[in-house]
Homo-oligomer: A and B are copies of this chain.
Amino acid sequence: MRLAELSRRSGVSTATIKYYLREGLLPPGERVSTTQAEYDEEHLRRLRLIRALIHVGRVPVATAREVLAALEDENEDHLSRLGTAVAALPVTPAAPEEGPAAEVARRTAEELQRRLGWRVVPSNPAHRSLVAALTALVRLGYPCDTDRLLPHGRLAAELAAHEVALIEDFEAPTTQLEAAVALTVLYEPVLLSLRRLAQAEEAARRFGHRE
């Protein structure tokens, strides 16, 4: 298909598609003349992923390029590509924490993961953001012990099992990798919205005195 059709089918303006091409987010089409190129279904799928990353995940363009490059790294097996791509996705910003509260948080994060049967990988950005989140709880004097956090971890594990199963519905391994990255980003606001709605329901059930 030509640029105009790619734009129509993806809902992305031709100017934005050209920008993604220039920035190396989208691989070039096949040149058919000096001014025209031909695009295929893979371009359409890739555009969908770029939009998920940039417009929903608010991922900076440079990060999106890094994520996409990781997915295409043919020197790596699928799991490593997925790991690198997902690790590049931004989590809650986490400056390295220091001091006694950070020490308690680090021990809690490690014990929690061990009790869940997970491997502890301190270099994983999600591990660092967990330590940062727990450090805030400790510093502010809110409950933060593994017993209280274990249900969160168990629910996260159930959620991950469900989400990975959804990804298996996608066919080719590359498409599965793309879907894994897209759904990591796209289901995050779904989960947070549902948590807020569930809290309102639960609060009404426990503290409500009126219909």
Contact surface of A with B, Cβ cutoff 8 Å? 11, 48, 51-52, 55-56, 77-79, 82-83, 86, 91-92, 113, 118-119, 121, 124-127, 129-130, 132-134, 136-137, 139-143, 148-149, 151-153, 155-164, 166, 168-169, 179-180, 182-184, 186-204, 206-210
CA distance A206 to B125 in the complex (A): 21
Contact of A184 with B196 in the complex, beta carbons under 8 Å: yes
CA distance A194 to B188 in the complex (A): 12
A126 vs B119: C-alpha distance when bound (angstroms) = 34
Specify which chain B residues have a CB less than 8 angstroms from the CB of A113 in the assembled complex. 197
Q: Quick one: which of B155, B160, B186 contacts A159, CB cutoff 8 A?
A: B155
A188 CB to nearest chain B CB (Å): 7
Cross-chain contact B200 with A83 (CB below 8 angstroms): yes
Quick one: closest B residue to A139, CB to CB?
B11
Q: How many copies of the chain does the oligomer comprise?
A: 2
Judging by beta carbons under 8 Å apart, are A190 and B130 in contact? yes
- Decide if B203 touches A129 in the complex (CB within 8 Å): no
B-chain residues with CB within 8 Å of residue A202 when the two chains form the complex: 157, 160-161, 163-164
> Min CB distance, A122 to chain B, in Å?
11
Find A153's partner among B166, B198, B206, B209 (CB 8 Å cutoff).
B198
Q: Is the CB of B79 within 8 A of A149?
A: no
